[in-house]
Structure 1
Amino acid sequence: MKFKGVLLIAALTLTAVTAGYVIRFSPLFKSDGHSADVLNAAFAEQPVGYINRADSIGVANPDLQHISIQLHPNTTEAPLAAALKGLVADKDLLLTVVAGQDGALGMVTDGAFDDALRSLCRLLPDAKRVYLRWDPDMEVPVQRYSWQYQSPVDYIGAFRHVAKTCRNTKPALQIMWSPAGYPGTEEYWPGGDVVDAIGISVNGPSELAATAFPRDPDLRTSLRRKLIRTRLMNKPVWVFATGNDSLVNALQSDLREAAKELKRDSTWLFQEYTINPPKGRPANAPPLLGVYDPKQTLAGSKVVQAEHLFVDLVNIQTGSFARDFEAIVGRGHQVIVSVEPWRDGKVRKDSSVLQNTILGVYDEEFKSLFYTISKTNLPVYVRFAHEMEIPIHRYSWQSQDPVLYIKAYRHFMELGKGVKNVNKVWGPAGDRGSMEWYPGGDAVDFVSIAIYGLPDKNITDPTKQESFETIFNRKVWRMRWTSKPIFITEFGVKGPEDFQAEWLEKAGAVLAAHGEVVGVSYFNLADNPEVWGDIPPPDWGISQSTFDRFVGALKSGR
């Protein structure tokens, strides 16, 4: 096989001397008893190229040699020096370093690998650029390697420790953070202060084994989506591929095309993203309390401040939205408006709703909606095409290209730009990969997430539901990139009344403790039976007494 530049693959492993060390990579030849050198082909990717938005999103051809090393706490300098012997003098170096036993993240953070890392870094050449790439593909939801399927916080802590330890030893070292580019990439971001470059991989064995998300139709689409998932981080992005020269050549062409597309949309695609604490609600004030309550069993409560409307195109066309909106305002309540751009009474093509939105096909309806909203001085929270990131087809705007969605969202919100009482709400479910669809901070005032106790639709036992806190922590972590206040526009729990009451009481305490949550709205109805097939749809409806227990916990914080 021919390689671009020189691709060297070396590896290093040591026989475990402490109980509990597990070697995950099978050696292709045995050591001589003194040297621990083994060939490790686990990360033998070829470099494809890189793009750097600082260079006007230019594409460069790779000129790297690649060495992959497996490290253990008791690795010494001799086998490391042997692995680095074949370096080519005039080539930059990509050094992939992987930890080869279970529990490695905690061991790294605790300093167990420090001596081995320092030994390695001392041996690295000074006369060339060296990228150190540690434990790649961490975000892929498989268990191929010990650092996968682990807490993002644990991975980040270990990565930062590695980066700081290595930089203290070799200040010129370039630290590379290297996810596969799978959905959820941004959850594992360790911070720009410890990352010099990003590496993403195409056609890697971890990703090929993953089943959490549908496969992209082709490698060009896959590469483009991976690049979009790294747009939040302003660092050069390297692309690596597992495969032959023919694949690499094809990907180089794909990379050039992807760079052109990214440059075209760069104004809003590459905003500056910094993770900062969002501005929350006033101290000691509970969040705004709303309900989706079409049967009006809770909306009459004195504590309710907002009501939620789900609005499709025909609702606007027939005037039913205006009537429902005016009725809510007449009750003195603020309004949450979830705009669903489909079910068009004029029979325009429903399957292309995002493209239709961009082309202005629905502008008449959307302008009418914003006109209705403008007739009150009360705040209105407008959420467009919610839960877009879930890889299903319940709504025609789901499972679509993220750039298409972002353009549609931005077009819609632009139509309401002059309406002063509109609060722009971006409403993913908060699932893995949500940030790929983020439309940019200038087009978002609040981030909405949905929290329902069911982790899987096939679970019928209500006691198998997750706690509100578990779901909340997972989803808010994903939203931290936005630095925006949180408005939970949908949440609910099914089951017997005592179970619902206990779940909601705990939810109220969680919400009271999180000042970044400015509003919550309970979904007081059963879901649509058509979506659930043979399984009874979950009924999230609650009694007034259960609602009162939730409100009490929300106000008291316990």
Structure 2
Amino acid sequence: MMKKILATIMVLAATLFGYYIIKTYPHRINILFMKSKMEERFQEAVLGVYDREEKIDIRKVKKITHYTIRLNDDDNWRIDSNHIQNLHDTIPVMLTVEMWDPRGLTKTSEGRNNKNVKQFFSLVITNRKNIYIRWNPEMEVPVNLYPWNNRPLPYIAAFREFAQILKEINPEVKMVYSPAGFAGALENYPGDDVVDFASITLNSKAENHLKTKEHKDLGSQITRKLHRLRFINKPILIITSDNAGDSSHHDELIKVAIKKIQENRDIIYSTENFKRPSSQWEGDLDNLKIGLYDPQGELVHENAVNTEHLFISFKQIESGSYIRDMEEVIARNHDLIISVEPAWWNEEKDKNILNRIKNGELDKYIEKFYQSIPATNRNIYLRFAHEMEIPITRYPWQSADPLLYIEAFRYFMQYDHGKDLNIYKIWGPAGDRGSLDWWPGNDVVDFISIAIYGLPDKNISDPNKQESFSKILNRKMFRFRLIDKPIFITEFGVKGEEEFQTHWLREAAYIIKQHPRIRGISYFNYTDSPEVWGDISPPQWTISKNSFSEFIRILNTPLK
């Protein structure tokens, strides 16, 4: 009897484990049964193109014949390439190359696939002038459908190596960077020098494996996906899928999306977006801004502190309750970080707040705020409507249409207040996936701010499961590598026992010293808002004087 029970348990466990593997790593199963092959990809036709320079003939683009080359981890890729060789040279061809070997990115970046790549593609693409290569597409979608999903650094290195080999075979080949167009579409971007075109895919296969659809209607999807690629000056191919429905009205939807871009061409979609960081950041720890959000006043009198952080809502602007706080900070001869929150807390959230701001309906609050700032020669670091990209509704401005947010941000920052103030404008995303969707423009941003908190998920109660400062920082700073602005960490915090907090802060100080792009930091020395955490106790980010002193000591210790 016992043997039968054990056998049943083992079968059940094996079944559950198998189900987990299939659901979590479907590509591992696919590889077992997949053979390298080439086939027509008729379900993913090219519908149109957005070309800022208007040099691409849409009629030729729509004639592209699309094939897939699926490559497994075979020693040699033995594939019948007659599909292409039999096509006339005048017919444009797009090859979507999928490398299903789990080690494919590493092997390609290290050059271990070079022999096979040269041998196979020399037969396929030599002498063709109108050939487009999409390599390992839909890489940014957060699913485990493909072995190349969500691995930005290995993907970038492998793409660059693969593109170099193909260009040696045929300099005329057009390399296509091919995200689905999901949030974070540029996190895997390999560089302007190895990309000729880009593409987006409507209702891509990878996105259909997500639990929640980002955009149900195709019009919004086309607009948002093109918006996400506004930092690259490359023609963008718009590709359909077998999940995108009837394509008869797609042309009109594409025209509407492109018209919106053209209407905002001078600001939101200006050529400023194509400027890459050119300067080598030079660190100056002596002038590093060291700040605190410390409403209890426990650490603001420490000698190292030269900056203080205040959060001011429209409700406080209405009452003027924050003015004394500003005056006290300036009296301590400290600089000010002011995070303006366009909301009336403890009241119903105004989901139309950004519209009302950009339409000038709330000018009396904006005017009153600027006029309330005391005359001072201290620096004012002004942050407006922060953490806008997080897909929650903690704040009424979160998860809004990026174009609407950008217009409201620019309106607030460019408001003509008529005062002579040392204001530095801060754009303040949390630094999460897709942050660049809300980038408002070089002319209204002096600093990018990010938030670094140890808890990666609010449901984690064990402080030892917090992420390290360096892991979070590297992930977030990488997302802004296309923007030439310094970083101000306007919020960071860690919870737990004093010993754990001190250890975390030591590492933070050591890492900050190694990043000359960081020009300021501000610790959040308070308890988080209880209403956000529901039944879970809000994190206590407060630290002791000893922990803060140790952080400053490491910060001031020269690197060896």
* 2:30 aligned residue (19, 24, 37): 24
The aligned counterpart of 2:263 is: 264
Question: Is 2:553 the partner of 1:552?
Answer: yes
Deviation at 1:87, TM superposition (A): 2.5
Partner deviation per Cα, 1:92-142 (whole Å, 9 max, x = no partner): 111111112111001111222222322314432635411011111111111
CA–CA distance in structure 1, aligned partners of residues 165 and 408 of structure 2: 45
After TM superposition, the score normalised by the length of structure 1 is 0.89
Match for residue 447 of structure 2?
A: 446
The DSSP-based 3-state class of the residue aligned with 2:186 is helix
User: For the residues of structure 2 that align with 1:458 and 1:22, how far apart are their CA atoms?
Assistant: 30
**Matched letter for residue 174 of structure 1:** K
Q: Which residue of 1 aligns with 2:102?
A: 102
Aligned equivalent of 2:156: 156
Deviations 1:437-464 (A, max 9, x none): 1011111000000000000000000000
Distance 1:297 1:276, change over 3 A: same
Q: Is the 1:344–1:350 contact (alpha carbons within 8 Å) kept by the matching residues of 2?
A: no
- Report 1:64-143 matches (<5 A): 64-72=64-72, 79-119=79-119, 120-124=121-125, 126=127, 128-143=129-144
Distance 2:299 2:412 in 1: 31
RMSD of aligned alpha carbons: 2.6
Q: CA deviation at 1:276?
A: 1.5
Deviates more, 1:298-307 or 1:368-377: 368-377
**Paired position in structure 2 for 1:172:** 172
What CA distance in whole angstroms lies between the structure 1 residues aligned with 2:430 and 2:56?
Answer: 31
Q: CA offset at residue 84 of structure 1?
A: 2.4
| Counterparts of 2:422 and 2:103, CA distance in 1 | 52
State the distance in 1 between where 2:218 and 2:127 align: 36
TM superposition shift of 1:248: 2.4
- Contact kept, 8 Å, 1:51 with 1:58, in 2: the verdict is no
Match of 1:188 in 2: 188
The aligned amino acid for 1:468 is: F
Distance 1:126 1:77, change over 3 A: farther
Relative distance call for 1:284 and 1:425 in structure 2 (3 A) is: closer
Report the secondary structure of 1:79's partner residue: coil
1:154-553 equivalences under 5 Å are: 154-211=154-211, 215-243=214-242, 247-271=246-270, 272=272, 273-276=274-277, 280=281, 282-285=283-286, 287-343=288-344, 350-373=350-373, 375-415=375-415, 419-553=420-554
Query: For 1:376-415, what per-residue CA distance to the aligned partner results, in whole angstroms no more than 9, with x for missing partners?
Result: 1111000000000000000000011001100110111001
For the residue of structure 2 that corresponds to 1:263, the secondary structure is helix
CA contact (8 A) 2:329 2:336 kept: yes
User: In 1, are the aligned partners of 2:509 and 2:554 still within 8 Å (CA)?
Assistant: yes
8 A Cα contact 2:129 2:172, kept in partner:
no
Inter-CA distance 484–248: structure 2 relative to 1 (3 Å threshold): same
Cα distance, 1:58 vs structure 2:
9.5
Post-superposition offset of 1:324: 1.6
Q: CA deviation at 1:82?
A: 2.9
Could you tell me whether the CA contact under 8 Å between 1:485 and 1:516 is conserved in 2? Answer: yes
Once the 2 structures are TM-superposed, how far is the Cα of residue 173 of structure 1 from its aligned partner? 0.7
- CA–CA distance in 1 between the matches of 2:377 and 2:197? 48
CA drift of 1:505 comes to: 1.0
Whole-angstrom distance in 2 between the partners of 1:499 and 1:127 = 61
Distance 1:424 1:214 in 2: 34
Which string of whole-angstrom CA distances, capped at 9 and with x for unpartnered residues, describes residues 44-92 of structure 1? 5121111101129996662210011023576768634334245255321
Q: Is the 8 A contact 1:424 1:443 kept in 2?
A: yes
Report SS of the residue matched to 1:269.
coil
Change (3 A) 1:277 1:542: farther
Distance 1:284 1:321, change over 3 A: closer
Q: Is the 8 A contact 1:337 1:383 kept in 2?
A: yes
Once the two structures are TM-superposed, the CA of residue 372 in structure 1 deviates from its matched residue by 2.9
Worse-matched range after superposition: 95-104 or 126-135: 126-135
Q: Tell me the amino acid that sits aligned with residue 24 of structure 1.
A: N
Take 2:283 and 2:244, find their aligned partners in 1: how far apart are those partners? 59
Cα pair 2:85 2:124 within 8 Å, conserved: no
Distance 1:525 1:77 in 2: 59
2:164 alignment partner AA: K
Distance 1:242 1:131 in 2: 18
Q: SS at 1:48's partner residue?
A: strand
Task: Structure 1 unaligned segments of length 5 or more: list them.
Answer: 1-20, 31-35
Determine if contact 1:512/1:556 at 8 Å carries over to the other structure.
no
Partner of 2:3: none
Name the amino acid aligned to 2:252.
S
Distance in 1 between the 2:250 and 2:458 partners? 38
Query: 1:10 — aligned with what?
Result: none
| Partner Cα distance (1:337, 1:62) in 2 | 51
Which one is further off, 282-291 or 392-401? 282-291
Change (3 A) 1:332 1:383: same
Work out the percentage of aligned pairs sharing the same amino acid.
Answer: 39
Alpha-carbon separation, structure 2, partners of 1:87 and 1:58: 20
Q: Tell me which moved more, 414-423 or 174-183.
A: 414-423
Deviation (angstroms), 1:362: 1.8
Task: Deviation per CA, 1:405-427: give whole Å up to 9, x if none.
Answer: 00110111001576440000000
Secondary structure at the counterpart of residue 396 of structure 2 = coil
TM-aligned CA distance change 1:244 to 1:341, over 3 Å? closer
Question: Which amino acid is 2:339 matched to?
Answer: S
Q: Is the 8 A contact 2:38 2:67 kept in 1?
A: no
Q: Which runs of 5+ in 2 are unaligned?
A: 1-26
